[in-house]
Structure 1
Amino acid sequence: MNKKTNTLKGIFFLFLCCFSLNNNAQNKVLFVKDVPVKMKSQSTYSFFIGYEVEEDSDLAMDISGGSNKFWAGKTVPVAKGKGVFQFTISTNKTPSPGKGYRVLVSVRERGGDWKTEKASSIIRNVEITSKDKVVTDDATFSLATPTSLTSREKFEFEINYKASEPRLLQVALWNGGQWIGASKNKTIQTGEGTVKVTISTGAPAVGNTYRYVLYYGSGAGFPNTNIVSKELSGIQITKAVKTLTLDDLKEKSVTIAINKNSSELTLPIQSSFEFIRIITTRGQIIKESKNTNTILINDLPKGSYYAITNTDDFYKFSKF
């Protein structure tokens, strides 16, 4: 019991460390302990699941596939927040030995169904065996794989693998059913380790329906024919953050004159901006207003300032 408790504590700590790298609220769910791609046929299965949800939700697990169209499912309610637990699912009958099974865990709306799915982690081409077998070939995303990131030209992944002979890896980026791009096939040698793969896509549009798909296998039909395929969905891509220097402000800003008795600064062009920020000549952000084209300046000390907007408009003004 102590060994099991210590294992769970270790997994929970690792999961929280990885998830704390991204502080944005988001729905996400992962297998935090590798699921064997060869599983013995039995009536009960347990998996370690890590999750983070923006609101009270359901976590749904199902095992399905095989020649007999096997299916077993279970739903567990979870409260807003994050955590790790052992998800145990029982089956009415044991799945028949064979290939082509799938294990899925997803975040759904509380009381919802598959149509309300927000994020998921999927393992395809799982083999059900009649007895325990050692897994000699497998690949999986690192637990540190980001599920929320800014739009960029290149996406980099760390993949953990074990190989009984030279194999191939590929990671693809999809937006729903639309293929965005994929890495070059990465050859890995016999043994175990971690490799990095890169997808060069051009900067994708902002959205939260992206998914990563990992393919692992070999042969002429790869990646469509593979040993195992794993997927993370609900990936969020946000607007790229631009780096702005003081030199940029000096070069690009337009000087505007204001009345010395004015209590606010009104910017032209638009009737409203998502934000207006006031920056000192030393680069410090000291004030912000949202959803307007004005910002109060009556409490500013005398001096020169910059005003910037979410639409990359830059102004310089002086307070007298």
Structure 2
Amino acid sequence: MSRAAVVCGLGAWVPPTVVTNHDLAERLDTTDEWIRTRTGIARRHVIERGQATSDLAVEAGRRALASASDNGTDDDHEVDLVVLATSTPDRPCPGTAPTVAARLGLGAVAAFDVQAVCTGFVYALATAAAMLSAGTARRALVIGADTFSTILDPEDRTTRAIFGDGAGAVVLRSGQAHEPGALLGFDLGSDGTGEDLITVRAGGSRQRSTAEQVHAADHFFTMAGRAVFTQAVLNMSKSAQTLIDRVGWSESGVDRVVAHQANVRILRAVGEQLGLADEQMVIHLDRVGNTVAGSIPLALADAVTAGDLRPGQRVLLTGFGGGLTWGSTALIWPDLTLPAPHAPTLRKEQA
């Protein structure tokens, strides 16, 4: 039987500080209605001064390890690989993953970062799964964590409304493709001609190697909203369809799609392209916003806690992000328990 990486633990964390749409409306030219109508977001969590991406990654990782232990498949010290997907590392150098591994007490394990922005978690899953299938590692902790509040223009009502901070993680073990939880395949892609659509212009080697004056705004995140919307729907839909065909499923056989939580209109448009009903699309961004690499595992944890994701269901994960990058994977959802509470979030607010 073919070897595969099997999901055996899940955890998530968001910082406790909440910023509601009404909070933003007090400081910016916006309203709760404007934000909800365009994004579907009502609230988001942000880190406090002095906190960093590693703090969220450690909390999510700890909960994923506890989940794996509770499910009788893992021990914290058996993890021999940590892959962290993030676009907001603690420092430009070194990577944040070794710090996370050390703080979790995992010892001298292999640990590195993956940078694919909002597709980062899927890319990190693919990387860890390949290493497990090759026998390079036996158990992996895969984390998606970002703190975009640290790179947003405080005066930009659009990006401030969209993004929140958060982290989610899974534990993977080496197993067989027929097992529940096995990652059944991947579809990954990129288009570097779209690098300017989702970007932070300053701070990299290209900016630092020129004599051009750096504007303060170049240190903040920017996004070409309309173009990104079109590209996100197109590429997530195509990638998801490619993966569905590759694993031999049909659209009607997909129980849940957990897509990158970018915008509720993007999620519904992807569902329409795939011929899926709204209830098949897991939506979590209303309470946490776009948490970038953390969005897919955060949505998974929330869906499990709410009972919307159950053992035996066919689940498709798909993401789109800066680069441009996109990717998808699929699995039969395993029987997992999560430590309670998995994160200090609230269930959907009443409108």
Q: Is TM-score (shorter-chain normalized) higher than 0.5?
A: no
Determine which structure has more spread, i.e. the larger CA radius of gyration: 1
The structure with more strand, counted as a fraction of residues: 1
TM-score (norm 2): 0.21
**Higher percent of residues as helix:** 2
Q: Which has the higher contact order (CA 8 A, sep 6+)?
A: 2
Q: Normalising to structure 1: TM-score of the pair?
A: 0.22
